[in-house]
Amino acid sequence: MNNSRILVTGGAGFIGSALIRHYATCTEVQIANLDALTYAGNVESLASVVEAPRYRFYHADICDAAALEQIFTEFQPDAVMHLAAESHVDRSIDGPASFIQTNIVGTYTLLEACRAYWQGLPAERKSAFRFHHISTDEVYGDLEGTDDLFTEETAYAPSSPYSASKASSDHLVRAWQRTYGLPVLITNCSNNYGPYHFPEKLIPHVILNALHGKPIPVYGDGSQIRDWLYVEDHARALCRVLEAGKIGETYNIGGHNEKRNIEVVEAICALLEELAPEKPSGVAQYRDLITFVKDRPGHDARYAIDASKIQRELGWQPTETFESGIRKTVSWYLNNPEWWQRVLSGDYKLGRLGETASAQQTSGENS
């Protein structure tokens, strides 16, 4: 594992950057990051690794077959970890086209580039090669009962354009294994949270709105239940699956931290009372900013993951509880205003560090 070469797609995003930071810190692997740098891509999240000789960056779109061929030929990966995606449910409702393009067409284009490259590898490298597809628990749809859990056998029933596009990509990946023998692994993970999370997502949105004295919007009555996983626990799980997962298998990844959205928001407000007691003017308590807004169409009531397979077969389990992870997260946002201020102002798009010379294709579709 330590000598291997891993191509990460979407490595400038929230989870991809955590994965690359983990590989750069804890292993000796060579890492290539292939990312189109859409609004969600932020190379400043990789500032700690960008100068490392084992890291390189390809500014490219997974829908661009010619760029992919060039990158595979040049980098010669032993594994692909595919995280590039359009990932925000609200955006998928407002404009599904880029979700279909990147999540479905992009995954198809990447699979084909990968297949052509893999078929040309010498026998030993061919059998060791892996394509690891990173997906979501949202493909399983909604859980009605409060005791039910998503297992790897749960039938797919996606509700939003986002989850439908991710479900499609999972099906493509499985078909490329069954039909062409491409050695694939699939992981389906619950909601992630932690440092470097783009401020449009629930947890950073709540933290930053509270710090600015702005209303904290909560969909419906806030009763939707999600399982929350600290992003660094997810990064460790992905490494473990790549290292030891069985070809063709799916592994659910979860944090054993089911919370109602309103509980999450209240936990953040309580932590801010403790860690940032000097509030914006006019704000008596952070929780006074909570504002219930019209629910999102098709909003799933509950997601909950049975992550026993990955624990039993690969020995992975989360290290953070929700209480420890959310404390770390709130503290990180309080201690790193320069990161999120540049995201809020849009300046993060100006500093695009560490690009390699080749394959500088960008996506007209997604940028």
Stretch that binds ligand NAD, among 12-20, 148-156, 323-331, 346-354 (CB under 6 A): 12-20
| Closest-CA residue to 69 (of 112, 37, 30) | 112
Residue 194 contacts ligand NAD per CB under 6 A = no
Q: Which of 61, 78, 137, 266 is catalytic?
A: 137
Residues 6, 7, 29, 40: which binds ligand NAD (CB under 6 A)?
Answer: 40
Residue 204 contacts ligand NAD per CB under 6 A = no
Indicate the residue whose CB is closest to ligand NAD: 13
Residue 304 contacts ligand NAD per CB under 6 A = no
Contact call for residues 188 and 252 (beta carbons, < 8 A): yes
Nearer residue to ligand NAD within complex by CB, 78 or 170: 170
Angle between helix axes 322-335 and 202-211 (nearest 10 degrees) is: 50
Residues 4, 7, 8, 10: which binds ligand NAD (CB under 6 A)?
Answer: 10
Residue 266 contacts ligand NAD per CB under 6 A = no
Residues 44, 61, 258, 320: which binds ligand NAD (CB under 6 A)?
Answer: 61
Residue 293 has phi, psi (to 5 degrees) of -120, 165
333 is an active site residue: no
Residues 24, 84, 139, 330: which binds ligand NAD (CB under 6 A)?
Answer: 84
Residue 14 contacts ligand NAD per CB under 6 A = yes
Rounded-to-integer distance, Cα 143 and Cα 106, Å: 29
Cα-based distances in Å from 51 to 43, 55, 94, 343, 356: 12, 7, 38, 22, 12
Residue 329 contacts ligand NAD per CB under 6 A = no
Minimum gap (Å) between residue 170 Cβ and ligand NAD: 10
Rounded-to-integer distance, Cα 19 and Cα 17, Å: 5
Q: Which of 23, 58, 162, 193 is catalytic?
A: 162
Rounded-to-integer distance, Cα 289 and Cα 302, Å: 25
305 pairs with which residues across the strands? Answer: 150
Q: Name residues contacting ligand NAD, limited to 130-189 (CB under 6 A).
A: 134-136, 166, 189
Q: Which of 44, 78, 138, 320 is catalytic?
A: 138
Nearer residue to ligand NAD within complex by CB, 34 or 289: 34
Neighbour count for residue 327 (Cβ, 10 Å) = 16
The torsion angle over the Cα atoms of residues 251, 305, 272 and 291, rounded to 10 degrees, is 130
74 is an active site residue: no
Stretch that binds ligand NAD, among 174-182, 190-198, 281-289, 351-359 (CB under 6 A): 190-198
| Closest-CA residue to 34 (of 367, 364, 362) | 362
Nearer residue to ligand NAD within complex by CB, 134 or 289: 134
Q: For the chain, what percentages of helix, strand and coil (3-state, to nearest 5) are there? A: 45, 15, 40
Classified as helix, coil or strand, 247 is coil
The three-state (H, E, C) secondary structure of 11-55, written as one string: CCCHHHHHHHHHHHHHCCCEEEEEECCCCCCCHHHHCCCCCCCCE
Nearer residue to ligand NAD within complex by CB, 101 or 286: 101
90 is an active site residue: no
Q: Indicate the pairing of strand 258-260 with strand 225-230.
A: antiparallel
Binding mask 17-36 for ligand NAD (x = CB under 6 A): ------------------xx
Give the active site residues.
Answer: 137-138, 162
Question: What is the contact surface with ligand NAD in residues (CB under 6 A)?
Answer: 9-10, 12-16, 35-38, 40-41, 61-63, 83-87, 102, 106, 134-136, 166, 189, 191-192, 198, 363, 366
